[in-house]
Amino acid sequence: MNAEGRLAGRFVALGITGSIAAYKAVELLRLLRAEGADVAVLMTQSATRFVGTLTLEALSRHAVESDVLALQPDGRIGHVVIADAADAIVVAPATAHWLGMMANGIAGDVVTATCLASAAPVVVAPAMDGEMYEHPATRRNVARLHEDFGCAIVDPELGALASGQTGVGRLAALPLIVDAVVAAIGDRPIRAPGAARPALVEPRHEEDLAGRHVVVTAGGTAEPIDPVRFIGNRSTGKMGMAIAQAALDRGASVTIVAGLVSVAPPEGARIVRAETTETMRAAVLHELVAPDGGAGLDALIMAAAVADFRPRLTADTKLARGGPLVLELEATPDILAEVGRISRGSDVGGALGRALEPRPVLVGFAAETGSLARAPEKLRAKGVDLLLANDVSQADSGFGTDTNRVTVYSRDGDADPWPLLSKHEVADRLLDLVAGRLDERDAGRQTGGAPSAQETTR
């Protein structure tokens, strides 16, 4: 933050509603911070479908508020804390729907609720289709916000719209919105000192994984049918990359074995590309055993969506279009189950013939649809320490989402359902468990302590 900027020392709430222009709010956040503001983001549920909360959380360093009932870690109600502390609230983009709700005082979303609960000046920057903006209902709502409630309105501009038409409805230039926030605050006194503001999400630099090698698989595998086609899945790599980032933040040396991914890997990780189940298997097994025959990694976390079936044969040339095509599929090797056997020294015909030392912590994810009933059996069959099951048929969990709702199964405890969390929070909580297990493992080795559950249940 810029201590010299026009918003230095100010706390600004940025409300984002569900318009295609929501992506511009990311840049608006950056500009507000460049002016010295501490910014917290409020989003309607539909806005979270246009832009990911992770980006906004990372840039603002505050948890994004998108649920009116959500509490801060200290038990305070998130949007009320923001309402009480904000020096200004800026709603950009503001949709026709949101203007209607606000004009009628209907607090059904966190942005409206915060505006209603706050004495801070409110700046509103509408963005929508041109005809919609011209509609008398919208004009009346905008006028009401300005005339009755004292909101500053930053009018939308003439320009190309998402509909492909040209009209007045494009979100105003971002510097104009920043100017409006500066003007709205003017020389009012700062409303709340630091402690009354929502807590900053500090990056965790508790280096409890320093000196550990953590291998994370991320993304989906692609099983070739011919040189141009493959059988794949919808994994983006977000879950795996969040784990890799969290492990780096905690001091680990991190290797990412990446299948097909659509998100960038974190800086500082070693990347091994492995797009088929077979190449992923080879890459993981290569990491598993060090050249001296000891364990090559401390923890393996398989967040990748690995194919269970692949075409038995791959055509050398592109298959020509014609009549129906029948593909014969065969089962792929189960990488995690093989790693489990190798770690325990129970891999029939395996080269090691003994358990890996020191024993790595093994974590799998289970992608289920509708019920998690199969998860305990997967935990057992794969021989892992922890299995995080997610219901990928839920809108807020699984493939491509920024959030995940997992239930954690362990060999030595009850199933533990976690609430809906960002993938970064899931990653951090998971690494708390992994770090704890590694510390226990090392303490046990030093004292010649009792073997772990994994060793005794073989």
Q: Which of the residues are catalytic?
A: 233
Q: Which is nearer to ligand PMT, 7 or 366 (CB)?
A: 366
Out of 336, 361, 379, 408, point to the residue binding ligand PMT (CB under 6 A): 336
CB of 334 to ligand PMT, least distance (A): 5
Q: Which residues pair with 273 in a beta bridge?
A: 258
Q: Which is nearer to ligand PMT, 247 or 366 (CB)?
A: 366
User: Are 127 and 47 contacting, i.e. CB atoms less than 8 angstroms apart?
Assistant: no
What is the C-alpha radius of gyration for the chain, rounded to an integer number of angstroms? Answer: 26
Between CA 342 and CA 353 the distance in angstroms is 8
Q: Which is nearer to ligand PMT, 306 or 435 (CB)?
A: 306
Out of 367, 379, 431, 433, point to the residue binding ligand PMT (CB under 6 A): 367
**Binding characters for ligand PMT, 269-308, by CB under 6 A (x = yes):** --------x------------------------xxxxx-x
CB of 206 to ligand PMT, least distance (A): 24
Residue 266 interacting with ligand PMT (CB under 6 A): no
Provide the 3-class DSSP secondary structure of residue 63: coil
Q: Which is nearer to ligand PMT, 128 or 387 (CB)?
A: 387
Whats the size of the chain, residue-wise? 458
Residue 98 interacting with ligand PMT (CB under 6 A): no
Residue 178 interacting with ligand PMT (CB under 6 A): no
**Part of the chain binding ligand PMT (CB under 6 A), chosen from 131-139, 247-255, 396-404, 447-455:** 396-404
**Part of the chain binding ligand PMT (CB under 6 A), chosen from 4-12, 99-107, 118-126, 393-401:** 393-401
Provide the 3-class DSSP secondary structure of residue 163: coil
Residue 405 interacting with ligand PMT (CB under 6 A): no
Between CA 49 and CA 441 the distance in angstroms is 42
User: Are 224 and 265 contacting, i.e. CB atoms less than 8 angstroms apart?
Assistant: no
Q: Which is nearer to ligand PMT, 258 or 295 (CB)?
A: 258
- How buried is 435 (Cβ within 10 angstroms: 0-12 exposed, 13-18 middle, 19+ buried)? buried
Number of residues this chain uses to bind ligand PMT (CB under 6 A) = 28
- How buried is 64 (Cβ within 10 angstroms: 0-12 exposed, 13-18 middle, 19+ buried)? buried
Out of 126, 130, 259, 364, point to the residue binding ligand PMT (CB under 6 A): 364
- Give the amino acid at 66: S
Residue 379 interacting with ligand PMT (CB under 6 A): no
Between CA 8 and CA 328 the distance in angstroms is 64
Sign of CA dihedral 111, 113, 116, 118: negative
CA angle 414, 212, 263 (to 5 degrees): 80
Could you list the residues that contact ligand PMT (CB under 6 A)?
Answer: 235-240, 277, 302-306, 308, 332, 334-336, 364-367, 378, 382, 390, 392, 398-400
